[in-house]
Structure 1
Amino acid sequence: MGNSPSSSKYFHLRINVRSRSSLARYRYNSPGIQEDKVARCIRDDFEDIAIAGNRFFMVTSTGKLYEFSEGNNLEHVQAVIYGTAVEAFYEIEGLCYDPARDELLLACKIKSKTKNEKRTEEKNKLQTTDRLPVYAFSLKTMSRLPLPRFLLDRRAIARAAGRRSFRPSGIAFEPTHGTFCLISSRSRLIVEIDSSDGVPLSFMSLPKKYHPQPEGIAFLSDNTLLVSDEGHVHGTISLYGNKNS
């Protein structure tokens, strides 16, 4: 990964971002539902966005996957919704595109239980409190693969990184090495994992001074690292890149 905030070889830049309460100007058109003549604003708990070529995707915490195309400024565009079938056990926290397999990766967290809600364990015993799945969604079949791409041992990751806990809040494809990076807001930590088996390769701490609540992660084509933070008044985007690039 290499883009350490403490390294003198890299610069750090923060950009203030005004927050918006909803995703505006996207219209959905699901099979069997008559399309409205007037475009409607979609309001939902969106967690992340990914781009695969000229295809745009956004995912909600309950696993609704919206596909749409890029529009002009203030233009309405249609969106198609796909289910990911994770909402019974997990909530989605992150989304990214894997160009090697033409798949979207979905980073999960354990779904919070209400007092009167009891959940049954999955038959394959994949759902545990220690292991969190990263599922793959095929863009060829437009469906989620049944078994997780990775199972993350969050306690082992936390111990190796010297943290009390690890819970992913975002995921990104690292273009230089072909690995994946997960960000944990509570731990202020980025973990790089191997693309074949999900084994942790490196760790990057995020200073509290710059990152009060780091939630999102992305890489540009030149490997510049972007980290987004939530805020009470406005959010911020931090860039980590090589001074000589």
Structure 2
Amino acid sequence: MIIETLSTFPSMYDSVMGTSMMRIAQEKGILQFHAHDLRDWTHDRHRTTDDDPYGGGDGLVMKCEPIFEAYEDILPRNPATSGHLPVLRPHTIFLSPAGQPFDDALATELAQEERLLFVCGHYEGIDERAYALADRTISLGDYVLTSGELASMVIIDAVVRKLPGVLGAETGALGESFADGLLEYPQYTRPAVFRGVEVPPVLLSGDHARVARWRRGMSLERTARLRPDLLDGVDLSPADREFLKSLSTEPGV
């Protein structure tokens, strides 16, 4: 997969993309990443990417001209193409509080794309005309961040970890929270007893079927307790429904 970003602060990506899974994905050749500096497409000595908003108001608005010029220049730079191969057009994403809420299903969908380009806003926002380039607009949630770079890092991480080989196994991400609509079950490691608190005995039993049933039950219990809203979107088996029913009849529940 090719992932590119277009922003006024490309150095913000250095740490995140140079460590842990993001670094490993690049070393394995699974991911190609490049952070473009929007200021490279400005034409004044101050390399200006923003201006005062029409109609007045506080703050500055990012200009549309450098964004369009950058997009048109980045498009044929695709590092995966050469010679007479067709240009792989990027699936272009803008980050905005007005966008589609980001979730695990959307991360899975984006992981199927071959090339992603994130256009990251700053200041009070982006000139509305630039959104003509967007294939989709995404929001992390009902809050405002300092910049789109921060939001894009979260999305990139969630997408890249779904690429085959990144986590070291084809099924590496399958048991994580939200992968099947449920929160993940509790995890434990050594020691078996810490300050009087024991690891659940079933996890030490070596019985894989029992462990699988326990994990499914704990995912259901944790989801019902912490995020019951998620259950409406889960394909529950008769056994799952019976288990949830038993939870509701327990004393104190």
Shorter-normalised TM-score: what interval? Answer: under 0.3
Structure showing greater radius of gyration is: 2
Instruction: Name the structure where helix makes up a greater proportion of residues.
Output: 2
TM-score, normalization by structure 1: 0.26
Instruction: Name the structure where strand makes up a greater proportion of residues.
Output: 1
